[in-house]
Structure 1
Amino acid sequence: MGKSDKMKDKAEQIIGKGKEKLGQATDNEELEAAGKRDQLKGETKETAHDVRDKTAGAVKDAKDSLRDDK
């Protein structure tokens, strides 16, 4: 995963946390829920990027292993 992707995912989570806290402080349930959604979306994207990277790494390792066996 690129560093910019990682930063975007983390930023989305941080902004979501801020919205959630602001919603709690102002008794605004919609803002609080939006914040929770943003956090979950950021976490989901981060996980998807991690899985993509691990898969790409495993494929590269398998290719390297096949080359080494020749």
Structure 2
Amino acid sequence: MGLDDKASNKAQELGGKAKEALGRSSDDPELTREGQRDQASAGLKQAGEKVKDAFEDVKDAFKKHD
């Protein structure tokens, strides 16, 4: 996973946490849900990047054995 992707995903996650907290403190359920969606989206992106990294590792391991 590239550093840009990691930073972007982490920023989205942290932004989602902030939105959720603000929504809870201001009693705004829509903002709370939006923050939760942002966090879930960031988590899915991070998981996808980890899968891509794992496939690259496997591919590299096979190249070393050729």
TM range (shorter): over 0.9
Aligned to 2:49: 49
Question: CA–CA distance in 2 between the matches of 1:46 and 1:23?
Answer: 24
Question: CA–CA distance in 1 between the matches of 2:55 and 2:37?
Answer: 27
Question: CA–CA distance in 2 between the matches of 1:49 and 1:58?
Answer: 14
Question: CA–CA distance in 2 between the matches of 1:43 and 1:7?
Answer: 13
* Percentage identity across paired residues of the two chains: 35
TM-superposed CA distance for 1:37, in Å, is 0.3
Question: CA–CA distance in 1 between the matches of 2:7 and 2:25?
Answer: 27
Residue 48 of structure 2 aligns to which amino acid in structure 1? A
Query: What are the within-5 Å matches in structure 2 for residues 4-15 of structure 1?
Result: 4-15=4-15
Question: CA–CA distance in 2 between the matches of 1:62 and 1:2?
Answer: 22
Residue 12 of structure 1 aligns to which amino acid in structure 2? Q
TM-superposed CA distance for 1:19, in Å, is 0.2
TM-superposed CA distance for 1:27, in Å, is 0.4
TM-score, with normalisation over the residues of structure 2? 0.96
Structure (1 or 2) with the larger CA radius of gyration: 1
- 1:40-67 superposed Cα distances (whole Å, 9 cap, x missing partner): 00011001001101111101111221x2
**Structure 1, unaligned runs of 5 or more:** none
